[in-house]
């Protein structure tokens, strides 16, 4: 009763202000609420929900600009060729990654894929990557990146100005004509304060370590790079359906090596043979493709492994080998596993047990000495905590946004209440006087 009387004396304006701010505080909790799980059909690829749409241009002259640190979405037609623009200085390395997402179940052929390249104003290629369905010929997300590296020893692509990102899709005549969805991200990397080694060590350990101890733990993979589930060293159990791709990420620091194997569990549904039944792929923190491995399945448990990779080092970028070159910086490395849709035809359309065994060997070493914030090209205490807890990239970002929103709303609510109460007190004193 006292509260009602107090509000009556405050007046409608002050009361409305408090109610409105309290409502904002309640709404602020919404982003942290759990999303409903998909049922029946395979979960769609999980795009970054904050990514705006951008339209690739037919000519570099009309190319839309991609801002640093921003993710975008677009579509690419069969045999399409589109340009985007990035404005670069002469100090930072630049990476633009493209994730191509074909329609699930769409027909692809050997060699279908895309090339992403970065060019300067004279049309000179600064750095490119070409990715394709070269082993397992069924639709799944593909990732690759283009890059411009600042190098005092080079005379090309070094000046500040406009650069152009060209994405070209290649398809066989018999392949599906559906558009591919694209997820595009632009990142920058500082140069070094002082030049480091430029030659690769000749000797490095390629011996596969023993399986991680502790037994399997349940950790279901994500549906895209954006919500990839964090892993640390260990044995991780998921369920994967025919045609599905699961995404994971592992923090790998400077000087450390990543080893990964994938095991498909046995099935009682049949004993048919499916070649290239499982693809295990590795992509680096800038979403550049590093390596992949494929394995067959005949209903018995089967294991495939990624090739041993060099320890993470800045000088790896001097290699002409894509796999060695890709292990060029610390940060989150992404593992993705895709199960062939043929499994549903030869066995059953139901989940197959999948076990990932992850080893991260070697002690973390100091970074190469960046002249600035390394951004995503580092392993932080928060990254290690996320890996231990199994947080996904999307949930971590959502949690941070929610906390910031709640903090702002909380401050706003408290301030409004204090202002309202102050106004009410002042009015009461004036009436008493």
Give the long-range contacts of residues 157-160, CB within 8 A, separation 24 or more: 157/118, 157/120, 157/124, 157/126, 157/127, 158/90, 159/90, 159/120, 160/88, 160/89, 160/90
Question: Residue 86 has what pLDDT?
Answer: 98
Lowest mean pLDDT among 54-68, 75-89, 126-140: 126-140
pLDDT per position as a tens digit, 168-182? 999 999 999 999 999
HSE-up (13 A, CA, CB side) for residue 85: 13
Question: Residue 19 has what pLDDT?
Answer: 34
Beta-carbon count within 10 A of 355 CB: 16
Q: List Cα–Cα distances, 248 to 71, 180, 229, 303, 390, in angstroms.
A: 19, 22, 5, 18, 9
Question: Residue 429 has what pLDDT?
Answer: 45
Asked whether residue 9 carries a pLDDT value surpassing 80, the answer given is no
Beta-carbon contacts of residue 277 (< 8 Å; ≥ 6 apart):
264, 294, 295, 296, 297, 302, 339, 340, 342, 343
CATH topology identical between 50-191 and 217-408: yes
199 pLDDT band (50/70/90 cuts)?
confident
pLDDT per position as a tens digit, 338-380? 999 999 999 989 999 999 999 999 999 999 999 999 999 999 9
Residues 236, 229 contacting (CB under 8 angstroms): no
Question: Residue 407 has what pLDDT?
Answer: 39
CATH hierarchy code of domain 50-191: 2.60.120.380
Both tokens of 311, joined, read 């320890």
Helix axis angle for 2-10 and 393-432, nearest 10°, is 80
Give the end-to-end CA distance of the chain in Å, rounded to a whole number. 25
The C-alpha angle with vertex 163 and arms to 63 and 160, in degrees rounded to 5, equals: 135
Please state the φ and ψ torsions of residue 124, each to the nearest 5 degrees.
Answer: -75, 130
Can you say whether the dihedral through the CA atoms of 399, 401, 403, 405 is positive or negative?
negative
Beta-carbon contacts of residue 382 (< 8 Å; ≥ 6 apart):
none
Percent of the chain with pLDDT over 70: 82
Q: Rounded to an integer, what distance in angstroms lies between the CA atom of residue 395 and that of residue 230? A: 11
Q: Rounded to an integer, what distance in angstroms lies between the CA atom of residue 90 and that of residue 152? A: 10
Question: Residue 79 has what pLDDT?
Answer: 95
Looking at domain 217-408, its CATH architecture is: Sandwich (2.60)
Asked whether residue 4 carries a pLDDT value surpassing 80, the answer given is no
Asked whether residue 56 carries a pLDDT value surpassing 80, the answer given is yes
Beta-carbon count within 10 A of 400 CB: 11
């Amino acid at each position: 009763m006292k509260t009602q009387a107090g509000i009556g004396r405050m007046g409608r304006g002050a009361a409305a202000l408090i109610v409105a701010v309290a409502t904002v505080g309640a709404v602020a909790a919404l982003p942290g609420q759990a999303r409903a799980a998909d049922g029946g059909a395979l979960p769609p690829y999980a795009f970054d929900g904050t990514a705006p749409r951008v339209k690739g241009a037919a000519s570099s002259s009309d190319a839309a600009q991609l801002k640093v640190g921003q993710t975008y979405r677009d579509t690419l037609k069969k045999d399409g060729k589109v340009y985007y623009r990035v404005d670069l200085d002469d100090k930072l390395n630049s990476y633009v990654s493209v994730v191509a997402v074909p329609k699930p179940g769409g027909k692809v052929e050997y060699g279908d894929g895309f090339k992403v390249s970065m060019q300067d104003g004279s049309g000179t290629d600064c750095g490119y990557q070409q990715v394709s369905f070269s082993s397992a010929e069924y639709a799944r997300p593909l990732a690759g990146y283009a890059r411009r590296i600042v190098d005092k020893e080079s005379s090309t692509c070094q000046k500040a100005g406009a650069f152009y990102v060209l994405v070209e899709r290649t398809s066989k005549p018999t392949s599906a004509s559906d558009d591919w969805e694209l997820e595009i991200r632009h990142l920058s990397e500082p140069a070094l304060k002082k030049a480091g080694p430029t030659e690769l060590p000749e000797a490095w350990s390629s011996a596969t370590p023993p399986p991680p101890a502790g037994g399997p733990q349940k950790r279901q993979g994500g549906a895209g790079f954006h919500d990839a589930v964090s892993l640390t060293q260990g044995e991780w159990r998921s369920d994967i359906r025919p045609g599905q791709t699961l995404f994971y990420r592992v923090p790998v620091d400077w000087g450390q090596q990543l080893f990964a194997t994938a095991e498909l569990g046995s099935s009682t549904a049949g004993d048919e043979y499916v070649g290239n039944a499982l693809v295990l792929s590795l992509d680096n923190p800038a979403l550049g493709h590093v390596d992949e491995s494929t394995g067959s399945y005949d209903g018995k448990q089967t294991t495939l492994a990624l090739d041993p990779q060099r320890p993470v080092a800045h000088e790896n970028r001097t290699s002409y080998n894509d796999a060695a070159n890709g292990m060029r910086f610390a940060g989150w490395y992404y593992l993705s596993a895709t199960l062939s849709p043929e499994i549903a035809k030869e066995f059953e359309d139901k989940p197959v047990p999948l076990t990932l065994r992850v080893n991260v060997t070697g002690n973390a070493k100091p970074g190469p000495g960046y002249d600035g914030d390394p951004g995503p090209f580092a392993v932080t205490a928060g990254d290690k905590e996320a890996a231990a807890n199994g947080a996904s990239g999307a949930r971590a970002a959502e949690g941070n946004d929610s906390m910031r929103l709640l903090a702002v709303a909380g401050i706003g609510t408290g301030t409004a209440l204090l202002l309202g109460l102050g106004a009410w007190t002042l009015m009461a004193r004036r009436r008493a006087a």
